[in-house]
Amino acid sequence: ELLRKSRLLKAVLNCVFDNGGYIAAMCAAPKVLAEHGFLDGRRATWYPGIELDSPGIVRENEPVVVDGRIITSQGPGTAMPFALMLVQALCGEAKAQEIAVGLLTPWPLPKPPRA
């Protein structure tokens, strides 16, 4: 709740994003990004029990969603694919694959089956 209302956090996020950086959030944290307008018109994911009342956000039921320089993830169980997507964004596909192989994690990340 405090982060959602923080002007300082909004200023830091704006500075990072305006200077070409990535913003990443998982679990309930995408709610903070939504509150500060970073998810407007974007695809995102977050913890299944969290409600976001923001009509401009397209919710994807995926472990990790990358939309431009915004990376979101559903929760603690998706931490590994989330981390590997961050590595890919910051260091490239080859480095993400190298780390995934060392961790015995499939790469590229498999898409979950659709119901």
Asked if residues 26 and 73 have their Cβ atoms less than 8 Å apart, the reply is yes
Measured CA angle at 18 (ends 83, 65), to 5 deg: 30
Q: Is 15 a catalytic residue?
A: no
How many angstroms separate the CA atoms of 13 and 77, rounded? 25
Asked if residues 32 and 50 have their Cβ atoms less than 8 Å apart, the reply is no
CA-wise closest residue to 95 among 19, 65, 103 = 103
Catalytic residue among 13, 23, 26, 27: 27
DSSP β-bridge partners for residue 58: 43
Active site residues: 27
